[in-house]
Amino acid sequence: MCRVLLLNPPPVKGVRYTRESRCQEQESVLGTVKPPLTLAILASILRNRQIDFLLVDANIERLSVSQILQRLSMQSFRPDLIVMATTTPTILSDMVVARALKNVLGAKIVAFGPHVSGAPMATLGEYPWLDAVIVGEPEWPVEQICLASNLDDLKEAPGILLQKELHERGACVPARVQDINLLPYPAWDLLPLEKYTLPFVNEPYLLVETSRGCPPACNFCVVPLTHGRVFRQRDAHDIVDEIQYGYENFGIRYFNLWADTFTMRQRFLLDFSQEMLERSLPVYWFANTRIDTLSSLEVVRQLRASGCWMLSVGIEVADDNIRYGLSKKFTKEHVHKVIGWLRETGIISVSFFILGYLGENVDTMKMTIDFALDVDPDFAAFYPAVPYPGTPFYAEIERRGWLATKDWSRYNYSDYVINNHALTRTTVLQLQKEAYRRFYLRPRVVWRSMRFLRSLDSAKKAARLLYGRVSN
């Protein structure tokens, strides 16, 4: 068996990024860097298999390549295999790191994440020093690679595309974990948990996975590239066990219930809420969900009673026709209801909006900004539309010849890479600034936001985030 380095690569030009499934944003976007859940699960799998490994989050620790090598040397650890997380906006930087490590260590390099799942052939062609990429979910493919005597033994294996297969193989069948209840708890004990902190409360938090897969499959989203459309729900009792484990063993009070749509199944919500109420754990949880899966005030009250602190929802755009085309077929009236229910029950509401999507113009974007102010969630985020490789959105933009660049580092939430003639990059980014100014520089929003801050450090961090969004 080989020796394995599980690596979250260094920051990109000093900027830390979350590299976790659908989340591939700069720290400044949400004011936090998420703990690397997938790498921590991989660490548990390797530990259970008694495979020699080292887990390094060079991103959160701000380690350079030379510092990574120094750490390996200090621990007398020379890996045969390096497994790296990567994303679209970080792929260029991550592959520079991969090449540097390969040149020094001679290790085989395997990458996983939404970018390589969306464009596996192109990634291998562009970066010949990669030995393989993982398409889909990496848990079982990484285990297979570690246990194989030779990578060549894994030709045609689901979820594993080898560099040697680049010109021989057609499409690679994505790897999927059919029963996610079988996955071990993440090896959080191997990471500096105090460094992953939440804005507002300035406390550490953990991710607890509750499901995978999203049937609606919005055409701009990378979730289908990694987790697919088939919904797989984890057992509610096991989820609460893991929350209790995180609280009792690491002193964590805040938990991000990691799911593409947390409230997809009502029966699960009832079981989960009941389990949380019975244990009376002094913890808070938050999650992402869809507006159209929150059906009543009673459901929201149930979530609040079980410890729900915050819910994030994707509203996307105000124009009904554009929003329906995004697989978000809820009404504006229902949006008002849901945000009202969250406020009534004391759950913090966060809403996400897209600017510059297909069919948009200046008027529709201003309509979205007006709608955000009208609905008035506690917090709002406005993102330029990003056509990530492998998504139907990317395919359509490429078909129309509207891709302004394939400089992947620009595929982030502070840039606009679509040249559709109706909207310029300058216009979209100016409207993004206008959206943040109009939303946050209102006296009642400033006052409301201050009520959520738990410390002076939290207030300073929030002020820096807001300044970055509204300043010229």
**DSSP single-letter state for residue 110:** E
Rounded (10°) angle between helices 266-279 and 236-250 = 40
Average pLDDT rounded to a whole number, residues 390-408: 96
* Other beta carbons within 10 Å of 139: 23
Percent of the chain with pLDDT over 70: 95
pLDDT at 166: 84
Average pLDDT rounded to a whole number, residues 439-451: 83
Domain boundary among 142, 165, 188: 165
pLDDT, the chain, mean: 94
In this structure, the answer to whether residues 22 and 110 fall within a common structural domain is: yes
Nearest to 220 by CA among 97, 104, 63, 114: 114
Rounded (10°) angle between helices 332-345 and 362-375 = 30
Domain boundary among 165, 188, 212: 165
| pLDDT grade for 462, boundaries at 50, 70 and 90 | low
In this structure, the answer to whether residues 129 and 237 fall within a common structural domain is: no
Whether 457 shows a pLDDT value over 90: the answer reads no
In this structure, the answer to whether residues 422 and 302 fall within a common structural domain is: yes
pLDDT at 456: 55
CATH number of the domain encompassing residue 145: 3.40.50.280
Domain-located, residue 456: yes
pLDDT at 458: 57
| pLDDT grade for 470, boundaries at 50, 70 and 90 | low
In this structure, the answer to whether residues 159 and 207 fall within a common structural domain is: no
Residue 363 or 327, more confident: 363
In this structure, the answer to whether residues 231 and 323 fall within a common structural domain is: yes
Domain-located, residue 178: no
In this structure, the answer to whether residues 211 and 262 fall within a common structural domain is: yes
Lowest mean pLDDT of 6-10, 157-161, 464-468, name the range: 464-468
Domain-located, residue 190: no
Domain-located, residue 36: yes
DSSP bridge partners of 310: 286, 348
Domain-located, residue 52: yes
Domain-located, residue 179: no
Average pLDDT rounded to a whole number, residues 431-459: 81
Whether 353 shows a pLDDT value over 80: the answer reads yes
Supply the range of the domain harboring residue 104.
4-165
pLDDT at 190: 99
CATH number of the domain encompassing residue 448: 3.80.30.20
In this structure, the answer to whether residues 28 and 117 fall within a common structural domain is: yes
**DSSP 3-state assignment of 205?**
strand
pLDDT at 136: 98
Asked whether the CA dihedral 414, 420, 424, 427 is positive or negative, the reply is: negative
365 vs 332: CA distance, rounded Å: 15
pLDDT at 326: 87
pLDDT at 155: 87
User: Which token pair is 18?
Assistant: 């979350």
* Other beta carbons within 10 Å of 164: 14
| Domain tally, the chain | 2
pLDDT at 296: 93
Domain-located, residue 170: no
In this structure, the answer to whether residues 275 and 418 fall within a common structural domain is: yes
Domain-located, residue 181: no
Q: Residue 238: what are its φ and ψ, rounded to 5°?
A: -65, -35
In this structure, the answer to whether residues 219 and 89 fall within a common structural domain is: no
| pLDDT grade for 160, boundaries at 50, 70 and 90 | very high
Average pLDDT rounded to a whole number, residues 120-137: 97
Confirm if 18 and 45 have CB atoms less than 8 A apart: no
178-196 confidence digits (pLDDT tens): 999 999 999 999 999 999 9
pLDDT at 469: 63
| pLDDT grade for 472, boundaries at 50, 70 and 90 | low
Nearest to 207 by CA among 246, 153, 158: 246
In this structure, the answer to whether residues 88 and 225 fall within a common structural domain is: no
| pLDDT grade for 471, boundaries at 50, 70 and 90 | low
In this structure, the answer to whether residues 299 and 443 fall within a common structural domain is: yes
378: Cα separation from own chain's centroid = 21
Whether 233 shows a pLDDT value over 60: the answer reads yes
106-125 confidence digits (pLDDT tens): 999 999 999 999 999 999 99
Residue type, 254: Y
| pLDDT grade for 223, boundaries at 50, 70 and 90 | very high
Q: Residue 317: what are its φ and ψ, rounded to 5°?
A: -140, 160
